[in-house]
Structure formats: structure tokens, C-alpha cells
Amino acid sequence: MEQDRSSPGADLHATFGEIDIYLFDQLLRGRFDRRRSVLDAGCGGGRNLPYFLRHGFDVRAIDADASAIRSVRELASSLNPALPLEQIQQGSLTALPWPDASTDAVICSAVLHFARDDQVPYLDVAATIDPQNGQVALLMLNRDLQSERELVLDWRDPTPTRVIACETLTGPDLKAFNTFEDPKKVVPQPLAPPAPGARMTFKLPARSYTVAQIATK
């Protein structure tokens, strides 16, 4: 007697929906194992939320599109009826209705490049922490094509004790790329980091992408 087996693709779709591959990769890496409160900033119709809703995460979501918010509320009611629907709101990413540090992780996937020029901030920053060795990776972007920008980071817990490395990619040609003939056309350059401490001010060159590795132990 043959068993009725659904296809692996159908099983995955039922669990994860239309999740972005980059977010799926972060789930596989365990980034959300201890981060149970999640904000989807620019959630659209909720393509990245089925897994979190099914598994009882404390989900918050915001989008400027009212019809998208209605869809996400319907999705939440179906997959996690206990979730308060007021945690899914129509609004702007520049005026979030929740206090600072009220969520463990923020999803903001394929959002900013759809914003108008006057809505996109010059600076963007993301960070990951390895709780075992206490090291933090900071990823910092300066979109200003003309000027250096300062990024001020206030640390609460943990507090940095040492900057292990700090490098930046910058240059006048935003379309430059490496080739076999010229493999070092685009290479990271050392960037002087601020002293470690509870407040650190990074001076990011114009049109740059900077990575800093920081120890907290």
C-alpha cells in the first residue's frame, strides 16, 4: 500500500510561506533561537511571518500599506489567534509606535530601496553577537555620496572592551568590481576605530561600507 506523501516543497511552503532566502538562512544559523520578540519593519503582506506566527513568537509588524496590514492581521488570526492584533499596525518606519529596545530582532528585508529619497536614512547599521565568545560584528553603511557621517552607538549590555578589527570599503566608483586581471581594484582599507566603551562614535567615510569586530569579554 502506497503512502500518501506530500512533496518536500509543499511541506516547506506550508511551514515558511514565501520567506526571503536570506531570512531563512538566519533561521538555520540559530539567530532567532533566543530572540523570541520580532519586529517586521515593512512587512508587506507578511511573507516572512508564517514561521514566527506558527511558533508563538511575540510578533510586531508595521507597513505603510493599509491593505497589506489587513492581510497580515488575517494571517496572524489564522496562525496565532492569541497574538494581539494591535501589534500589527499601519505606519511609518521613521515613527515606530513602540519604545526603543522593546524587541529582540528586527526584520527589514527588501524595504529601504523602495522608499523615496527623502525617506531613506544616510546611515544603516546591523549587528550580530556570538554569546559564546562575546564578540560582536557591526555592519555599517554610509549612503551619503559626499560627506563623512558619524555613527554614535550607545551600548547597554554587554559593553565593548576591545576593537579587534575595523575595515571599510569606499571609493569614487560605485560600480567598481574585481576581475581576474585586476583582483585588487576593490579592497577593504583599515579604518581608525573609536576607543571601546559604553559610547562609541564611528566616523564613516562617504559612500562606504564598514565592518567592525568587537570583543565584549
What is the tens place of the pLDDT at every residue in 109-147? 777 655 555 556 788 888 888 888 889 999 999 988 889
Q: What gap in Å lies between CA 95 and CA 31, rounded to an integer?
A: 26
Residue 5 has pLDDT above 70, yes or no: no
Span 155-185, pLDDT tens digits: 988 899 999 999 999 998 888 888 888 888 8
Nearest to 136 by CA among 146, 125, 144: 125
Q: Which residues contact 197 (CB under 8 A, 6 or more apart)?
A: 155, 159, 160
Nearest to 42 by CA among 78, 92, 117: 92
Residue 4 has pLDDT above 60, yes or no: no
Nearest to 63 by CA among 51, 81, 75: 75
Residue 1 has pLDDT above 50, yes or no: no
Total-model pTM? 0.57
Span 79-108, pLDDT tens digits: 999 999 999 999 988 789 998 888 999 898
User: 3-class DSSP state for residue 160?
Assistant: coil
List the domains of the chain with CATH numbers.
1-120 (3.40.50.150), 122-217 (2.60.40.1180)
Would residue 36 be called left, alpha or beta, if left means φ above 0 and alpha means ψ between -120 and 50 degrees?
Answer: alpha
Q: What gap in Å lies between CA 144 and CA 99, rounded to an integer?
A: 28
Q: What gap in Å lies between CA 17 and CA 27, rounded to an integer?
A: 14
State which amino acid sits at residue 216: T
Q: Indicate the DSSP class of residue 47.
A: T
**Burial degree of 75 (CB within 10 A; 0-12, 13-18, 19+):** buried
Q: Is the dihedral of CA 90, 96, 102, 106 positive or negative?
A: positive
